[in-house]
Amino acid sequence: MPIVWVMPTGEVQVTRIAEEILNRERRPNETTAEAVGRLASVIQAKTPWLASGVPTLVTEVNMPPTRIQRDKWRLQGNQVRVDPTVPDRPHPRQALLDEIEAATTVAALKVAVKKLATA
């Protein structure tokens, strides 16, 4: 069962609890939602980057079918959807790529390529 953590920025993080673990950890007379909620508290306590997130239970059918564009996932109602208005993240080496593009001499290009190769 997916736990969707809604972060203050609107981004979401997803934790999936395997059915075997959920069945093993479930207490007598505890519903699935109660068990997952309790386990979410344990996960949040052990995972510092989730401390500011708000956990929400989402069924698997309400998740995107692939992890493509995961950085654009947003929780809308009880579904996680790809938000096309979220801008693409820049390439991790975008500054170096821009420097290569801006090079006007062979010497400047060598310096930029060397930075890219050693980064």
**pLDDT over 80 at 119, yes or no:** no
Q: What is the pLDDT of residue 1?
A: 79
**Global pTM?**
0.70
Res. 7 pLDDT band, cuts 50 70 90? very high
Q: What percent of the chain has pLDDT over 70?
A: 99
Instruction: Residue 115: count other Cβ atoms within 10 Å of its Cβ.
Output: 14
Res. 68 pLDDT band, cuts 50 70 90? confident
